[in-house]
Structure 1
């Protein structure tokens, strides 16, 4: 069972400039007793593909430049350890796909990969193509000519270097079984089901989060549970979908929370935030920032379904992020760079808030007091600003928030008041027993109160968005302790 303590999200190489052992040393040294678990972002071979490890050539191998499976085991002995099961796709550079390129349909691995013909054997109509839900512009198919002289249209949901897996086929099932088994043998106890919403494709549907997808997630989750691992579904979608997914897996991400917190801080209006916290899944992970961009669609309308925020509020949210970041986020978002997703804004959360130390701590306090287990991304831990140099070098929008750090940068960052304040908040979240109790939320238009109670102990966070008065109040049977968020910055 995952510890109810703050977790770190990080790449092994980008946080230390080295590898898994260096990350372990950081967690057992300067960051000792800060985190209960680690989401170790793709450490597979290679870590530096076209999508920073999310396009594995060999999903069952650790990139030898950063360590070994023994290093993964050692890390998992001391921390909850989460790894990504990349459900939807594999690299076009994988030995399996190279064999397909060489042998076409005669390849032993032909059935591992999904083609248009697999889903639309009688051909696809224009209407059917328009119905497919897309995370990026353009077609979801890439025509590729094999050495047999035939050209086949392979399903490539994200990029043409990420070939979709046929998860229903025997080779597809065996491929994912092998990775799950490798995880279970090496102290990985939590599985993040990456891009799982796209895994099942059916003709005549939008090929995203179908009833069959829910059934598939049920089976995959049960399989992981049988191996002693919990599952987390990683799905960006309408907020009602998240509520439904939460019923089918061990945990789900609360991706609606990050944009709602920004909206509250930008408009001094907490109505949407309070509305969501009253109905949000309790079996969730909370984030503000991740290795991807800041999700927007999770709080907005989708088709005929109204959102927690309306279209005008979403537009204002995005434009305010751009303004707060001095338009740096605009350079990294949408068609401005080589982006996979158009429904996310690429920017550090710190810069999205105009690099305001106080507002950033308010955002973290709301996250930590919201239902779920909080995760803090490594760049957010150190309140990093947008990495425009890396963005210019790579022209990959997400790199604006995927910096390469080293020991000197970490040492300097740990001395910053905002980072010291964040570490104090993490300590409160990790140690107060009330967070193991019952949650409640109250509020009016301009303020809200997030409260936890267990037996005679209670803790609450009160924020007035208009006046920016923010207090943490601890209650016991005999006393009341008030801590101003401003005091944490002192």
Structure 2
């Protein structure tokens, strides 16, 4: 993976076009900004129950966006990352429809995870209560087969997203076929979506268990054999992120967004500085993605709150959530929790720009912190344009995360790129991509309360970032260091 800033985007929501239009945009108005692009699900269809994360056919590009030849053209210009949706597929998929019609006579019998495959002797109340849930309720949905019999299926997220039996030969063949298709189309990086839920075990949490780690390791090895790097997407207690990072190519630094918000809202950089000393370096740094702002990532371990405290105290975490709601004028409250149709229990839905009260100085300080940390930065397309909450889309869809999934027209992109905050962000991106110091050695510098400083050194050249967290401003200074210090 190139040590340059990456873009995260939906193909059709940045300019309203297809893959070739996105390629033109990256080579035109966005030229020189990104060393890679993470394409959020572009599979058939992009507008299912979960914005493409419930594919009917994971090996077919949605024809409205193009085809695999368009992916190959784009990957010839810029590194491309794609999602492998490991945990589930759409209930409208031909495989599921065939199994529902024919049952055990279907060639896809065994592909979908049933309740009794995990609980052959049935489950006790304690077994069901042990299951870790990202949303309210139990992860099961009933289905009636063609012969009139009924089965209970695992559906971790929605009834339209049917969990895959990943260890069954059918499940393994299904996932390997996706990897091969991506490799054949020039994709060299994949993100494993929802992989933390892929393994189920009676009496256990069925989330990030030792068996899950083993599955991730095996799947990553199969991907690497095809020349593909693997990014694991997990929202979890911060110590688990550290553990995961030791076993995979890349992890997300999901603790960073809430810690940066806490630092800038409370004028307190201590929790962020502590995390900088702990965090894995093989991380993709993000402030925003297509999902909400994670909260679980800096809180106490849900399974052991007393013995495993978070990066911030519970009262600080509660205060942060309220500050986001206040900064957004209450808009994030309308998109989060019981107000939203997809009840994410661990996220606040809001654009990062609105989470900081549309304060340009604070927003640029946050991006500077992101870009200066070790790892590879990713910038979400809404964040690139300092986007505001899309309340119209939220009202129309009722889906909380749509508040941060605006559909930009070409004219809106051109207009946004002229805003001073966006021009300054683009300058920061170019600095991060081109300054040689970022190929050197990183250090967190000692500072007074309410301030944060860090530096990159290569030979005798250094680039230092100073952030006044209380004034919510930053400065970047190039300096010369003594040769002995540089080593």
**8 Å Cα contact 2:223-2:230 kept in structure 1:** yes
Shifted more, 177-186 versus 332-341: the winner is: 332-341
Mean Cα deviation higher: 299-308 or 38-47: 299-308
Aligned partner of 1:420 among 423, 433, 436: 423
Q: Residue 9 of structure 1 aligns with which residue?
A: 8
Distance 1:318 1:435 in 2: 33
Q: Is the 8 A contact 2:451 2:469 kept in 1?
A: yes
Superposition RMSD in Å: 1.1
Residue 469 of structure 1: how far off its partner (Å): 4.7
CA separation in 1, counterparts of 2:325 and 2:110?
Answer: 44
Which residue in the other structure is 2:412 paired with? 409
Aligned partner of residue 110 in structure 2, secondary structure: helix
1:33, 1:299 → 2: CA distance?
34
Shift of residue 336 of structure 1? Answer: 0.5
Give me the TM-score of the superposition, normalised by structure 1: 0.96
2:402 match: 399
Structure 1 position 406, deviation (Å): 1.0
Task: Look up the match of 2:480.
Answer: 476
**2:473 & 2:164 partners in 1: Cα distance?**
51
Q: Distance in 2 between matches of 1:445 and 1:146?
A: 63
Q: Which runs of 5+ in 1 are unaligned?
A: 479-490
Could you say which residue in structure 2 is the equivalent of 1:229?
A: 228
- Partner SS state of residue 12, structure 2: helix
Superimposed CA distance per residue, residues 254-278 of structure 1 (whole angstroms, 9 cap, x where no aligned partner): 0000000000001000000000001
- Residue of structure 1 equivalent to 2:64: 65
| Contact 2:324/2:355 (8 A) holds in 1 | yes
> In the alignment, which residue of structure 1 is the partner of 2:98?
99
Quick check: 1:378 aligned with 2:377? no
Output the CA distance in 1 between the equivalents of 2:239 and 2:166: 25
Name the counterpart of 1:220. 219
1:87 matched residue in structure 2: 86
The separation in 1 between residues aligned to 2:403 and 2:135, in whole angstroms, is 19
Correspondence for 1:432? 435
Secondary structure, aligned partner of 2:196: helix
Q: Distance in 1 between matches of 2:291 and 2:448?
A: 32
- Map of 1:140 onto structure 2: 139
**Which one of 290, 311, 318 corresponds to residue 314 of structure 2?**
311
Secondary structure of the residue that 1:429 maps to in structure 2? helix
- The answer to whether the 8 A contact 1:300-1:308 is kept is yes
CA contact (8 A) 2:287 2:370 kept: yes
Give the whole-Å Cα distance in 1 for the aligned partners of 2:16 and 2:455: 39
* C-alpha displacement of 1:139: 1.2
Q: Give me the TM-score of the superposition, normalised by structure 2.
A: 0.97
The corresponding residue for 2:352 is 349
Q: Secondary structure at the match of 2:318?
A: helix
Task: Name 1:290's counterpart in structure 2.
Answer: 289
4+ residue stretches of structure 1 with deviation over 4 A?
A: none
Deviation string, structure 1 residues 99-157 (Cα, Å, up to 9, x no partner): 12111233221211001101111001100101100000011011111121111110000
> Distance in 1 between the 2:261 and 2:316 partners?
11
- Distance in structure 2 (CA, Å) of the matches to 1:371 and 1:310: 25
Give a deviation string over 1:429-472, Cα, whole Å, max 9, x none.
01111111121113443111121112222111111212445211
